Structure 1
Amino acid sequence: MLTSIESGTLLAETFTVIDAVPTPEAQHPRFRATHSSTASEVLITVVPLLAGDLTTLAAISDRLKKLSHPDIQAHLGFWTDARAAYLVDAPIIKMASDPIAKPPTAAQLRRLVAALGYAEALGFHQTGFDLAWLTQAGHQGFVIQHLGWPRWALTSAPHRNPDALAVMNFGDWAYPLYTDVPWQGLDALQAQPPLPAGLTTLISAVQQGTTQTFGALLALIDALDADAASGVVGTGPLQATTFEIATPATSEAAASSILAGSTVATDGPAPSAPPPKSGWEPKTLLIGFALVILAGFIFWVLPDLVGPQNNRQTQVDINPAAADTPTVVTKQAPIATAKAKIIAEQAEALAETFLRKLIALEDLGLALWDPNALAQINQEAMAADDAYRAGEAQTALALYTQLLATVTELEAGLPDRRAENLAQAQQALSEADDRNALKFWEIAAQLNPQKVEVQSTWQAVQQIPTISALMSEADIAERAGQVEAANTILREATALFPDWAPSQKAATRVQQILIRKQFQSSMSLGFTALSEGSYDAAIRAFERATSIDPNASAAQDGLEQVRQAQLKEQIQALFIEAQEAETQGRWLDAKAAYEAARSLAPNLTDLTARIETIDARIALAAALTQILADPARLQSDTELNQARDLAITISQLPPPVGDLQASLPVLTRMLSHARRALTLTLTSDGQTTVTVLRLGQDGRLGQIMETRLTLFPGRYVVTGSRRGYKDVRHELTLSSDTPNPTLTVVCDEPI
């Protein structure tokens, strides 16, 4: 929050930030700002709200505003808002860019101790004094900042002895002021290169407890200066010059470091290939079975088919008429036999290649995505096999060649088919077409066995029938008014297949119904609690409604109504408290209650008039109290006239009157007796000169034995004097309660 304070930021609705003041990192940030009303420049220290008890800061501020010293920064006030608390001080005139010059002159040190002693004498104690709070102003001047505040209000940095008063920390800040070396105790003080004369004595006196206040420390400085002037010390403890201070030599140390958080790359084992599959797969068995059938066909069936042509025996014509003619023998030529054999082998090779491709296509779901082509291929394969068995090798070869071309063409079209199928599958999902989604995603799973995304989607698509059943169940629950149960069922359905639009839409719709129901329930509870005056319960209900629907203005309106109701109740309670105080004449309490109400509702103009009336009653009560406490004041004509006017004013007061009029009888009796003459009898020894002061010439009675004076009620002083004797002085108050007093004035004590 504090880092967001920039130029132009309004603090406590009163001060506008000009810029940030360079501040040591451990200290709370400071800013130059202008007062919105007076346009005067101020210096603001920002205190985090959680730094400590802010009520103590307000009390300290009230006292510090009364402290005035040329070397101490003037404090103007204490403000807070939702962001932080603010210590507002007067700006430092001609502030130098650096703290006080080191080492300071003796005159500067004495001036600093004198300023701290002045604040200490007035009851402002500084704990954990820090040199950072000492700012040089001009050439020789300086300003002590932040005097009187607890350390936590100024910095988050720890301190060696934060609870000790500044005089007890004198060594902590005076020693480094002259040496630039942290204070390490008295032992280090003795080992330190020569300090300015007298400084060791001052630090030792404080650390050993013989000097416990800044006043005593200042007296010690003056005493040392006096001794130096008389030649006791010789060089003077603290002369008004700077000193050459030897600083300890620094030693170099070498160290090696490793960057924290750096990482070392290690070579892990390369991912291994998946283990070989064991056992016989269905595809392998199918291929093997087909090859066995083909081999049996070649070795057992085919020889029988071609045997009658390739191995013809000699035929004899048994016609008797031709018995004498020679026998003619016909036999297959070797070349023809070899050619037939070659054609058969080619047919077998084509059949094997065709069969392998067909099995691969069937594994990719040929029966699903092109069943007609599969049926046609099967028919043509049967015809090719029939031709082969019939010994028509050339025909079989042509048919196998055609079959191979067909499956090769199907194989070549697989990429386009995969793309087309995935488009159809995605379209089915987008259109929520459950039948086609099941159909095309099953084909997609067959065509893309290695694609994990396709396989996972197919697994989810298979849940569509289950999802449809759950949606029907949820619809029944919703119709029965069981919205919570329907919402639970639909959440289960959407978990099975999150991308299935129908279940998602149904779940969203039911969830909205449930949210509206919960929202309306919370709002009803909130307004019920509000009407019953249960504000905490109403706030909880409206906040719950806000969490259900953050964008609903009705919930915010409900919270605002609660706040207004609480405010109204607080103001009414303060009015009752103020009126009771008015009745009892406790005017200060009444004013405090009205001011508290005005802070809650600044727009209530009636409160200002009431407070002004109370201020008038306070003034009347104070004047009346003074007169009643000291009736002799009426001896003065001016006081008497004012008392008469006061009595008239009180007697004519409109409400509130309090107890003012209850004292009127006493005041009236005092006024009636104020000018009633009383007789004072004075006796003496005839040798003492008697004088009644404040009566002028009439009061010089001379040497009397006895005389009577007629005087108005009031205070009188009677003196007596006689040569060779001590004078006497008598003070007496004449009142109607003692109408005829007697006083003896005799000087009887020899000098």
Structure 2
Amino acid sequence: MTDKTEQPLSATTFEPAPASNEAGGPPPEGEQSRVIYIGLGVGVVLLGFVFFVLPALVSTDPTGTNPTVDASADATASTEVAASTAGTPPKAATQSGEGRSPFADAQESALRRDAQEVLQALLSLQESLDERGAARWGEPAYSAALARAAAGDAAYRERDFVGATAEYQRALEQLQGLEQTLPERIDALHSELIAAIESGEVLAAQTRFAALAEMAPTDIRLIALEDRLLALPAVIAALESAGDAETAGDLSAAVAAARTATGADPDHQRAAARLSELTAKLTQAQFTDAMTAGYGAMAGSAFDAAETAFRKAGRLIPGAPEPAAALVELDQARTQAKLLALKDQGALAEREERWPDAVELYEQALTIDALILFATEGVARSQPRAELDARLEKIPDERDRLIDARILRLAEETLAEATALANPGPRLQGQIAAAEATISYANTPIATTLSSDGLTDITLLRVKRLGTLTERTLSLRPGVYTAVGMRTGYRDVRVTFEVRPNQNNAVEIRCAEAI
């Protein structure tokens, strides 16, 4: 390249040399004039090419100066072409010194364009990398590439366009190599930023975020990272609160604080892990408390409370084997307690001579365990006593029916069975006394007078037929009797009367209503 300002090209004047006839004689006058005109025309065309076409083919160099073309060289080239066309030797047509030809200038212009094209790509890439902060993260490769570019500039100024192109190309390749490392550098910087956020290093995270924003300004991840960076102080404070609460043994507060941290930054892995850890600890503590409460309640026979506690533990840690095993133990303990309670209640019923209740209690135990010994033996003891108890209770209630010899006999047999038992309890003793009094009452005859009209046929039911009578005294056991009177042509009569001691036991029976 040159620092000279562009000078306008000027044509060198020339005069065509006189042409000689190949035959040695002068040509005809008309032919000689035609040759001269043709030569002049060609010369004018070449001069026009030099003045108007050639300057357009030469481009401006990067320093802002146009290449200077030696006017005498252009004129000489034009003169040589014109002289050759006119048949005049070149030396005769050249009036200026030696200079570059248009072909050489065109070659130089092409080389300059090659250098400029590479330089343009180099400048564009260098500008992009500079905007991305390559001067900070791209050393020493970035400075080496700029040094190559400077060497190319030096060669360009010396019009060594081939050397300039080579230097520019090497600088471009160095910057391209640097550009190719951008994805890896961006990912590494992103990882460092995430690590700083996760570790709670606010200043380091801010520094790396600024660097990432400069290196990859269009990275879509910057939006979320900026939000996370803004939330980082709140996350750090919440995690510290969670740690303090855990140290104080307040796991519920620790979990709440960790949940606040994850709410501020849902993508914070350390906060999420801390929340999971504290939640697991809280759940385990609640699980242990529930199991302990369940076993305590079971030991105190509070089986419903124990079941509630064990089922709560099962909900806290689904699939844990301990609650299921505890529920099996609880069922066994509940069954055992139920059987023991039935045994105690049955024994108490026996002692209190509540024999029907004892039978019912022992039968309940047998429905739980058909082979339980105390229940089997209890039923064997209590069932006969319950039946005897029922029969003894009926004797006083059926006192008036004891006039029936069969019923009286059954009552006497029941009394004999009761008196045969050893060690009778108060209830049995009372029942025996009541039965004896009832039977004694039923076996004491009472004089009873029956009167009639001597025409009515009388039958004393369950005793005997008396026939007709006017008056008759019978010895009857206390009770309720029924006498039936019949007379031909008269309606039958039925008289029910009660025979009791210490009363007037007189009854009249007669058929008085004719039919």
Using structure 1 for the length normalisation, give the TM-score.
0.44
State the number of aligned residues: 429
Q: Give the C-alpha shift of residue 514 in structure 1.
A: 2.9
Q: Give the C-alpha shift of residue 396 in structure 1.
A: 1.6
Q: Give the C-alpha shift of residue 399 in structure 1.
A: 1.6
Matched with 1:139 is none
Between 664-673 and 583-592, report the one with greater CA deviation. Answer: 583-592
Give the greater-gyration-radius structure (CA). Answer: 2
Matched with 2:18 is none
Matched with 1:356 is 124
Mapped contact 2:448–2:476 kept (Cα < 8 A): yes
Q: How does 1:339-418 map to 2 (within 5 A)?
A: 339-361=107-129, 371-407=139-175, 418=183
Q: 2:436 aligns with which of 668, 673, 693?
A: 668
Matched with 1:650 is 418
Over residues 488-514 of structure 1, what are the superposed CA-to-partner deviations in whole Å (9 max), with x where a residue is unaligned? 554455567767665555444343333
Mapped contact 1:424–1:440 kept (Cα < 8 A): yes
Q: 2:474 aligns with which of 702, 709, 734?
A: 709
Residues 589 and 464 (structure 1 numbering): CA distance in 2 closer, same or farther, change over 3 Å?
same
Q: Distance in 1 between matches of 2:402 and 2:208?
A: 114
Q: Distance in 1 between matches of 2:304 and 2:459?
A: 77
Mapped contact 2:497–2:507 kept (Cα < 8 A): no
Q: 1:746 aligns with which of 482, 486, 510?
A: 510
Q: Distance in 2 between matches of 1:591 and 1:644?
A: 25
Q: Secondary structure at the match of 1:298?
A: coil
Matched with 1:680 is 448
Q: 1:631 aligns with which of 391, 399, 402?
A: 399
Residues 695 and 570 (structure 1 numbering): CA distance in 2 closer, same or farther, change over 3 Å?
closer
Between 458-467 and 721-730, report the one with greater CA deviation. Answer: 458-467
Amino acid at match of 2:509: V
Matched with 1:192 is none
More helix by percentage: 2
Q: Distance in 2 between matches of 1:683 and 1:480?
A: 107
Residues 709 and 520 (structure 1 numbering): CA distance in 2 closer, same or farther, change over 3 Å?
closer
Q: Distance in 2 between matches of 1:643 and 1:381?
A: 138
Q: Give the C-alpha shift of residue 402 in structure 1.
A: 3.0
Q: Distance in 2 between matches of 1:692 and 1:479?
A: 102
Amino acid at match of 2:435: L
Residues 655 and 425 (structure 1 numbering): CA distance in 2 closer, same or farther, change over 3 Å?
farther
Amino acid at match of 1:742: A
Q: Distance in 2 between matches of 1:664 and 1:365?
A: 118
Residues 464 and 390 (structure 1 numbering): CA distance in 2 closer, same or farther, change over 3 Å?
farther
Mapped contact 1:689–1:721 kept (Cα < 8 A): yes
Mapped contact 1:583–1:659 kept (Cα < 8 A): no
Mapped contact 1:441–1:461 kept (Cα < 8 A): no
Q: Secondary structure at the match of 2:63?
A: helix
Matched with 2:288 is 520
Q: Distance in 1 between matches of 2:244 and 2:456?
A: 123
Mapped contact 1:442–1:458 kept (Cα < 8 A): no
Over residues 116-138 of structure 1, what are the superposed CA-to-partner deviations in whole Å (9 max), with x where a residue is unaligned? xxxxxxxxxxxxxxxxxxxxxxx
Mapped contact 1:487–1:510 kept (Cα < 8 A): yes
- 2:311 pairs with 1:547: no
Q: Distance in 1 between matches of 2:424 and 2:61?
A: 128
CA RMSD of aligned residues (A): 5.5
Q: Secondary structure at the match of 1:707?
A: strand
Q: Distance in 1 between matches of 2:185 and 2:371?
A: 74
Residues 682 and 511 (structure 1 numbering): CA distance in 2 closer, same or farther, change over 3 Å?
closer
Matched with 1:298 is 63
Gaps of 5+ in 2: 1-59, 73-94
Q: Give the C-alpha shift of residue 583 in structure 1.
A: 7.7
Q: Distance in 2 between matches of 1:561 and 1:425?
A: 57
Matched with 1:71 is none
Matched with 1:511 is 279
Q: How does 1:732-743 map to 2 (within 5 A)?
A: 732-735=497-500, 737=501, 741-743=505-507
Mapped contact 2:449–2:505 kept (Cα < 8 A): yes
Q: Distance in 2 between matches of 1:694 and 1:543?
A: 71
Q: Distance in 2 between matches of 1:486 and 1:500?
A: 17
Amino acid at match of 2:151: A
Residues 459 and 598 (structure 1 numbering): CA distance in 2 closer, same or farther, change over 3 Å?
farther
Q: Distance in 2 between matches of 1:331 and 1:433?
A: 77
Residues 655 and 557 (structure 1 numbering): CA distance in 2 closer, same or farther, change over 3 Å?
farther
Residues 337 and 470 (structure 1 numbering): CA distance in 2 closer, same or farther, change over 3 Å?
farther
Q: Distance in 2 between matches of 1:523 and 1:464?
A: 40
Q: Secondary structure at the match of 2:318?
A: coil
Q: Give the C-alpha shift of residue 379 in structure 1.
A: 1.3
Residues 374 and 480 (structure 1 numbering): CA distance in 2 closer, same or farther, change over 3 Å?
farther
Q: How does 1:289-328 map to 2 (within 5 A)?
A: 298-299=63-64, 302=65
Mapped contact 1:311–1:331 kept (Cα < 8 A): no
Q: Distance in 2 between matches of 1:475 and 1:693?
A: 102
Q: Distance in 2 between matches of 1:348 and 1:423?
A: 36
Residues 719 and 388 (structure 1 numbering): CA distance in 2 closer, same or farther, change over 3 Å?
closer
Q: Distance in 1 between matches of 2:244 and 2:143?
A: 46
Mapped contact 2:404–2:462 kept (Cα < 8 A): no
Residues 581 and 470 (structure 1 numbering): CA distance in 2 closer, same or farther, change over 3 Å?
closer
Q: Give the C-alpha shift of residue 647 in structure 1.
A: 1.1
Matched with 1:167 is none
Mapped contact 1:721–1:747 kept (Cα < 8 A): yes
Q: Distance in 2 between matches of 1:483 and 1:705?
A: 107
Q: Distance in 1 between matches of 2:494 and 2:198?
A: 121
Matched with 1:333 is 100
Amino acid at match of 1:650: A
Q: Give the C-alpha shift of residue 745 in structure 1.
A: 3.3
Amino acid at match of 1:403: A
Q: How does 1:721-732 map to 2 (within 5 A)?
A: 721-732=486-497
Residues 577 and 474 (structure 1 numbering): CA distance in 2 closer, same or farther, change over 3 Å?
closer
Mapped contact 1:445–1:455 kept (Cα < 8 A): yes
Q: Distance in 1 between matches of 2:381 and 2:257?
A: 70
Q: Distance in 2 between matches of 1:341 and 1:518?
A: 87
Q: Distance in 2 between matches of 1:297 and 1:441?
A: 39
- Provide the identity percentage: 25
Between 595-604 and 541-550, report the one with greater CA deviation. Answer: 595-604
Greater RCO (Cα-Cα under 8 Å, separation 6 or more) = 2
Gaps of 5+ in 1: 1-294, 313-327
Q: Secondary structure at the match of 1:398?
A: helix
Q: How does 1:212-251 map to 2 (within 5 A)?
A: none
Between 740-749 and 555-564, report the one with greater CA deviation. Answer: 555-564
Q: Give the C-alpha shift of residue 384 in structure 1.
A: 1.2
Q: How does 1:416-495 map to 2 (within 5 A)?
A: 418=183, 452=220, 478-479=246-247, 481=249, 483-484=251-252, 486-491=254-259
Q: Secondary structure at the match of 1:708?
A: strand
Over residues 600-620 of structure 1, what are the superposed CA-to-partner deviations in whole Å (9 max), with x where a residue is unaligned? 777755345545655545533
Mapped contact 1:422–1:444 kept (Cα < 8 A): no
Q: Give the C-alpha shift of residue 552 in structure 1.
A: 3.7
Residues 693 and 440 (structure 1 numbering): CA distance in 2 closer, same or farther, change over 3 Å?
closer
Q: Secondary structure at the match of 1:746?
A: coil
